[in-house]
């Protein structure tokens, strides 16, 4: 009887408080202007702002160096940075630490160099940018349209169990590119 009760409680808990999917399902967003990036240290690439990206599609990545799912997404993120390098798409990232050990700017800089990150990284040790965007999971991707509006939010690994969610995100980037900046 104890086992049955424990399983019932566990099942109810999962229904009431579901764990995030290990893959990147689009999450509902309210169309709103993308918040500014909180001040942080740019560990690679020149400092920039969200406002400076107006007229471009912005792929804003949230990650932390100790997250295995984030590491699994790095190849897709680098592919997008390479593919869109000279186009109307900007790939930016925000390193928001989960643990005290991940707060070291030098360790983030070293990670970016060792993993060959092709996109700019800004630190968010106080989680101000994370909170402003309503991010809940590492890794996450926010797609911002050419008018500076948040359009899509994805949380989780982009190819969880072969889901191919990176293709969905890629198609949405292409759709946003076709839209007017006006």
Q: pTM of the full predicted structure?
A: 0.86
Q: How far is CA 36 from CA 21, 50, 120, 131, 133, in A?
A: 28, 6, 15, 11, 9
pLDDT of residue 11: 43
Q: How far apart are CA 100 and CA 125, in angstroms?
A: 9
Report the mean per-residue pLDDT for the chain: 89
In the predicted model, is pLDDT for residue 5 greater than 70?
Answer: no
* Residue range 31-178, CATH number: 3.40.30.10
Q: Give the contacts of 44 (CB within 8 A, at least 6 positions apart).
A: 109, 112, 113, 117, 120, 121
């Amino acid at each position: 009887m104890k086992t049955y009760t424990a399983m019932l409680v566990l099942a109810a808990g999962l229904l009431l408080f579901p764990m995030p999917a290990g893959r990147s399902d689009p999450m509902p967003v309210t169309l709103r202007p993308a918040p500014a990036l909180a001040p942080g240290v740019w560990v690679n690439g020149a400092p920039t702002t969200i406002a400076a990206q107006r007229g471009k599609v912005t792929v804003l990545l949230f990650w932390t160096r100790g997250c295995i799912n984030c590491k699994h997404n790095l190849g897709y993120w680098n592919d997008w940075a390479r593919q869109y390098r000279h186009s109307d798409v900007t790939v930016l990232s925000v390193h928001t630490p989960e643990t005290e050990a991940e707060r070291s700017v030098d360790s983030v800089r070293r990670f970016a160099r060792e993993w060959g990150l092709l996109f700019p990284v800004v630190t968010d040790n106080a989680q101000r940018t994370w909170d402003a965007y309503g991010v809940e999971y590492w890794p996450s991707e926010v797609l911002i349209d050419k008018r500076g509006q948040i359009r899509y939010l994805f949380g989780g690994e982009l190819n969880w169990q072969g889901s191919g969610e990176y293709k969905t995100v890629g198609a949405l980037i292409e759709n946003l590119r076709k839209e007017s900046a006006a």
